[in-house]
Structure formats: C-alpha cells, structure tokens
Amino acid sequence: MRIVDGGTQPWCEGRGRRERLDTMLVGQPPAGTWVLAFQGSAIRVLAEAEAAAIDAALDALEGAIEADAIFADIEAARARIDARSP
C-alpha cells in the first residue's frame, strides 16, 4: 500500500482499498512511500519496483482464480449437456 499522509497510523491506499496502518515496525515513512501491509500493520518498506512486482503478482493470482471459476462453469455446462445426450 502507498502511504497517503504521515504519522504512526497514516492513511494508506492500494488495490482499491483505503485504510489506516500501524507503522510502528517501519518508523514513520513519509507520504508516497510504499509498504507491505499485513493485518493492519506496515511490516516492511518497499521500493517502488518491488511494490509494482507484488501488485502484478496479485493481479495474476486474481486472474487465475477467475479462470478457475470460468472453467468450473464450462465443466458444469458440459456435464449438463452430456446428461441430456443419449
């Protein structure tokens, strides 16, 4: 997530979410800093390239999950068609 304002519990934004994070583990990074967040805490400061790589990996994971759902629908439709065939 990217820090929007400073302090020990700044507002942060990322992946369509906005939340306050506890930054006690990473100090008080300035606004614009990327951090790795877990359960309401910033646990590590990230370089911009590393944050982009993590975001791309999460996009790929979401795509794989969506693809599994699509294939499940296709398999269910095929089973219905097969059940109607003589």
* 28-32, 57-61, 70-74, 79-83: least confidently modelled range: 70-74
| Residues 83, 69: Cα–Cα separation, whole Å | 21
6-43 pLDDT, tens digit per residue, is 788 999 999 999 999 999 999 999 999 999 999 999 99
What is the dotted CATH code of the domain comprising 1-46?
2.30.30.140
Instruction: For the beta carbon of residue 55, count every other beta carbon within 10 angstroms.
Output: 13
For residues 85 and 80, what is the distance between their CA atoms, to the nearest angstrom?
Answer: 9
